[in-house]
Amino acid sequence: MAQVILNNLVKTYGAVYAVNNVSLTVNDGEFVALVGPSGCGKTTTLNLIAGLIPVTSGDIVIGDRIVNDLDPKDRDIAMVFQNYALYPNKSVYKNLAFPLQMRRLSKDDIDQKVRKAAEMLDMSHLLERKPRELSGGQQQRVALGRALVRDPAVFLMDEPLSNLDAKLRVQMRSEIKRFHQDFEATIVYVTHDQLEAVTMADKMAVMSGGFLQQYDTPAQVFANPVNMFVAGFIGSPAMSLIPLQASSVDGQTVLTGAEGWVMPLSAENARKVAKASSKKVVLGARHSTIKLHKTQVPGSVPAKAYTVEPTGDVTFVQAFLSGAIVNISVPPTVDVAPDEPVWLEFDQERMHLFDGETELALKA
Amino acid sequence: MSDTPEIESATETEFARPRSRRGFDGWRWGGRLFLVMMLVYTVVPMAWMLLTSLKTGFAAMQFPPQWWPKEPTLVNYKKLLDPSNSVGQDFLHYLWNSLFVSTTTTLLAVLVAVPAAYAFSRFSFPGRRFLFFAVLLRNMFPAVIFLVPLFILMRMLGLVNTHGSLILTYLTFGLPLAIWLLKGFYDNIPIQLEQAARIDGATRFQAFIYVVMPLSTPGIIATAIYSFIGAWNEYIYAYTFLSKNEQMTLPVGIQRFFSENTTDWPGLMAASFIMSVPVVVLFLVLQRYFVRALTEGAVKH
């Protein structure tokens, strides 16, 4: 196992920056998820690490070697592809044996390693089958087996679960996590599903527009998003982002909504707002930190319920506030009707404030 | 539509095709009739060829015709395949010439088309689009147009009256389509398979040999058959470029059976039948590759 370091990595296609100055370190044995929407550069980054496409500038270090100019075969990596990329004309056994054959191991060695890998992944009975005779989950497992059979320094995974159905995905998610723990494998994992990243990874790298937005543990990214993009991307339902105006009334900092209501801020939040580059401030709040009242209480602001989605455990209410849609979770016992006026109370301790111009999180 | 209850079709096994519960289906029967007519249209001449080849020269010329040979004989085939008489000598010569020219053409076409098609499919290089369409330009004109220019060219190259002239010419027909056909096959092979192979320790070339080549076998075989048949049946160039009797290929050589006074119809038909055998055998042996699903199970779509 080994570490992976990206130094100011850049990949351009003509004038387009697919990967723009990305630097991050994946420590030995760490599970890092590259996450972001389609076209954010996460897969390009993975392909750069794999060596499938040449870098424009910057360095890639695997272990203690700069691998920029090395062929994929010399980088000591293994990759699991989104479509598994199993060799369709080879049996499962031969699929697993292929990486070993390419490394010119002896027949006995190959046989031993293949059977061991098959046993670990519980597919010894499938060795003679062809990939097309396997179910999606089994194909996925063969792909995983082909990656681990030769004990690479780094595992690269490109959305390995996105072709599975929902139930199997959850199951394979825990299998991959278990695999990571058992082998202390260094894994770089690309996904567009933030839930996968949050549940599986030690650290997540949130990307957008080719830029690395934030690189931290899922808990940190969840609790302290550095900007509005990360705040809106991580978490389900997404964090509500409400554009407001900051002003000062009688020496106290307040936020004013488009409907004219006023929300006084705590001293700490007031210090944050003072750092903003303009009067425009965006309030961010997760659904669980907002309280919904059916009557006006002190500190609450008026909104209008839009949709109500009972899920059993909780009911999600979407409400209009200052031109934005706010997600609130309430106990299923609370009965809210669409278009009903409601009052929302924000938790001053757990709210996020963003600069309306730069979209960066405001810090006290 | 159907007045049978839903439950009945649900209990049928998935292999049992539900019977049409509607009455006479005009379109379906019309289609069948059309197919039968097409079949008759294509099979009857071949059957007649085979039957005639089994008759004696006298029986072949009878009128009204003998629909079924009264005294079937293999003497025509024996004569053709017997190297001790002059007809047999010539025929075997032609057969060998045709085999040589067609096989060499096929091998060269595959040898050039495989890497060319792969390059067109996988690499982007300056002039890729232009070259790709330029390759087709040759096939936009009728073959005869090139007859005289190619003859002059072959004379300058000193290739007239050699099999090399034919092989080169047939390649100019066969290669463009071979490249087009194969490119389509390579386009359908997911690039991730090669990427996986390269990560698994293969060089780009090894990935091509071990992973792409086996998957493109059906395409290569289709291409090979295509250029083989093209070369095997070609007449006008072979007729123009070759003048020596011992070099001629079958389509030209068969003319020998038309002599000044009579035509040896049974002999001609026997020769034609032998000529069609390699093509038919090739097809029968290799046709399963055409229908075999290409990369089924390789990736999930």
Question: Closest Cα of chain A to B224: distance in Å?
Answer: 21
pLDDT at B290: 61
Q: What pLDDT is recorded for position B7?
A: 45
Q: Are A315 and A232 in contact (CB under 8 A)?
A: no
* Contact criterion met (CB < 8 Å) for A87 and B199: no
Element (H, E) at A8: strand A4-13
Encode pLDDT of B186-208 as tens digits: 888 889 999 999 999 999 999 99
What is the side-by-side strand order in the sheet with A16-26? A16-26, A4-13, A57-62, A65-66
Tell me the shortest Cα–Cα distance from A88 to chain B, in angstroms: 4
Chain A interface, best mutation among B123, B185, B200, B211, by max A CB count within 10 A: B200
* Whole-number pLDDT of residue A219: 93
Is residue A298 helix, strand or coil?
Answer: coil
Evaluate if residue B294 carries a pLDDT over 60.
no
Give the whole-angstrom CA distance, residue A59 versus residue A322.
46
Q: Mark yes or no for CB contact A71/B203 under 8 Å.
A: yes
B295/A contact by beta carbon, under 8 A: yes
Q: Mean pLDDT, to the nearest integer, of A3-23?
A: 94
Cβ separation of A89 and B201 shorter than 8 Å? no
Most confident range, picked from A12-16, A169-173, B143-147, B212-216:
A12-16
In which band, very low, low, confident or very high, does the pLDDT at A32 lie, cut at 50, 70 and 90?
A: very high
**CA-based nearest residue in chain A for residue B193:** A85
Task: Tell me the average pLDDT across A56-64.
Answer: 94
For A104-154, write each residue's pLDDT tens digit: 999 999 999 999 989 888 888 999 999 988 988 889 889 989 998 988 999
Segment 305-364 of chain A within 8 Å of chain B by CB: none
pLDDT beyond 70 at B293: no
User: Does pLDDT of B3 surpass 80?
Assistant: no
Measuring CA to CA, which residue among A312, A310, A311 is closest to residue A338? A310
CB A149 within 8 A of CB A89: no
In a mutagenesis test of the A interface, which of B188, B199, B204 is the best target, namely the one with the most A β-carbons within 10 Å? B199
In angstroms, the separation between the Cα of residue B175 and the nearest Cα of chain A is 27
Distance in angstroms (rounded) separating the CA atoms of residues A52 and A32: 20
* Predicted model pTM: 0.79
Chain B residue numbers touching A134 (CB-CB < 8 A): 297
Picking from A48, A73, A157 by the largest number of B CB atoms within 10 A of its own CB, the best residue to mutate is A73
Contacts of B180 (CB under 8 A, 6+ apart): B117, B135, B136
Residues of chain A with CATH 2.40.50.140: 240-355
What's the gap in Å between the CA of B212 and the closest CA on chain A? 9
Tens digit of each residue's pLDDT (9 = 90 or more) over B202-241: 999 999 999 998 888 888 888 888 888 889 988 889 888 8
A343: which strand partners? Answer: A293, A302
Paired with A264 in beta bridges are A254
Residue A312: C-alpha distances to residues A88, A257, A264, A315, A332 (Å): 44, 32, 34, 7, 7
B190 has a chain A CB within 8 A of its CB = yes
Name the segment(s) of chain A with CATH classification 3.40.50.300. Answer: 4-230
Interface of A with B in 52-71 (CB under 8 A): 52, 71
* ipTM of predicted complex: 0.83
Whether residue B132 is predicted with pLDDT greater than 70 in this model: the reply is yes
Please tell me the predicted confidence (pLDDT) of residue B19.
56
> Hey, where are the domains in chain B?
80-291
- Residue range A4-230, CATH number: 3.40.50.300
Instruction: Mark yes or no for CB contact A81/B195 under 8 Å.
Output: yes
Asked whether residue A50 carries a pLDDT value surpassing 60, the answer given is yes
Split at pLDDT 50, 70, 90, the class of B296 is very low
The pLDDT value given to residue A232: 92
pLDDT in tens, A62-71: 999 999 999 9
Provide the CATH number for the domain formed by A240-355 in this structure: 2.40.50.140
pLDDT band at A205 (very low <50, low <70, confident <90, very high): very high
Does B89 reach chain A within 8 Å, measured CB to CB? no
Stretch among A168-172, B136-140, B230-234 having the lowest mean pLDDT: B136-140
CB B234 within 8 A of CB B165: no
Coil, strand or helix: which one is A327? Answer: strand
CATH of domain B80-291: 1.10.3720.10
Nearest Cβ partner for A83 among B210, B214, B300: B300
Q: Closest approach of chain B CAs to the CA of A186, in angstroms?
A: 16
In the structure encoding, which two tokens stand for residue B284, read together?
């029968």
Mean pLDDT, range A159-181, rounded to an integer: 87
Q: Which chain A residues contact residue B210 at CB under 8 A? A: 98
* For chain B, percent of residues with pLDDT exceeding 70: 86
Residue B15, pLDDT score: 53
What Cα–Cα distance (Å) separates residue B289 from each residue in B179, B194, B217? 18, 22, 8
**Chain A residue numbers touching B202 (CB-CB < 8 A):** 73, 102
- Asked if the C-beta of A134 comes within 8 angstroms of chain B's C-beta atoms, the answer is yes
Which residue has better confidence, A25 or A183? A25
User: CB within 8 A of A207, min separation 6: which ones?
Assistant: A22, A34, A35, A36, A40, A41, A42, A45, A213
The residue behind tokens 């190619």 is B150
Nearest to A84 among B200, B206, B299 (CB): B299
Q: How far apart are CA A123 and CA B48, in angstroms?
A: 59
B298: nearest CB among A75, A88, A99 = A88
Sorted by sequence, the CB contacts under 8 Å of residue A360 that are 6+ apart come out as A226, A227, A228, A354
